Structure 1
Amino acid sequence: MDWIARVVDHDPNALAALYDALVGRVYGLALRITQSVSLAEEVAQDTFWQVWRQAPRFDPERGTALAWIMTIARSRALDAFRRIQTNECELGPQILDRLECPGEETPPDLLAAVQERHVLHAALASLDPVPRQLVSLAFFRGLSHDEIAGYAGLPLGTVKSHIRRALIALRQRLPPDAHSKR
């Protein structure tokens, strides 16, 4: 896997190839640990973001690139799992009442929600790796532009530009009715 060497040189095509080759394995490991689809997706994104940032730290004498990446994924998945375990809380009586008696509200159409999610993920997948990661940090992790800049080690203006261009690209790729639902 000379992809790591190319990632060290900040070759986004190498990261994309590495992602395509290993995302299934990373996601599978994360899913087994977290038992949550959304957390596993987050862990997979975080893993490849960390590979992008820390590729110069990879030492082939200490192990294979696959082992290094899977170790990162395992660590991220365990962190995510621990985070949800410590953040769990009991539902209060008011919330339980609303769950038991939803009133006139109807549950969302599950099929439509799944289809919307697939459309969004396809649009996100069409972005270059760095903007995709930055958008993921902003929307799925809830980080501010300042926090993303610190996390990514990028200038604030660069982060804002990448996210702005990525959002414009997403708007062009998503169906018009997806824009008005939010």
Structure 2
Amino acid sequence: MVTRAGVRVYLDIGPGGELPSSFRITRLIPARTQDGRPQLRVRVHNTGARAVDISGSLRLDGGPDGLTAGPFTNDRVLALAPRHKGTLAFTLGKSLPKGPWKAVVTLQSGMLKQTAGGRIRFPDAGTGHPVLAVLTSTRSLPLLWILLALLAAAPLGYAVRKRLIKQR
């Protein structure tokens, strides 16, 4: 048996700064494992210029008779190279009803965080119908929130400046 370990290092020696990181949740695929357990497979696309290690949680709402389930964690971390696609799996308990369910998936890689959802139904066997994931939130750029706050405050600053000039 051989054990390997590695450390990912980003060494920037030139101008331009850090490469951008980003990923997108594209599809939710309900399925059943070989032993009959429901599984939600989440298709993810790394849209950035750096590798990402993605993990997350799944919550099921609006199930039969108003049931909710979760949060569930994914089976393993998904490592994606830049511009590559992959699948992250959430394997659930055998007694979970087929649905329909409103699935809400929250995935994270470092400071990047995205939440997407869709309406799913687990099949009796095999793979069910893929559902387009609808992005419900993204918290990948705190700088964006600061910029939006500054833009919102700009009209107020303009009004104050105009009033101060009038008083002179």
When normalised by structure 2's length, the TM-score is 0.21
More strand by share: 2
TM-score when normalising by structure 1: 0.20
State which structure, 1 or 2, has the greater radius of gyration over its C-alpha atoms. 2
Higher relative contact order (CA 8 A, sep 6+): 2
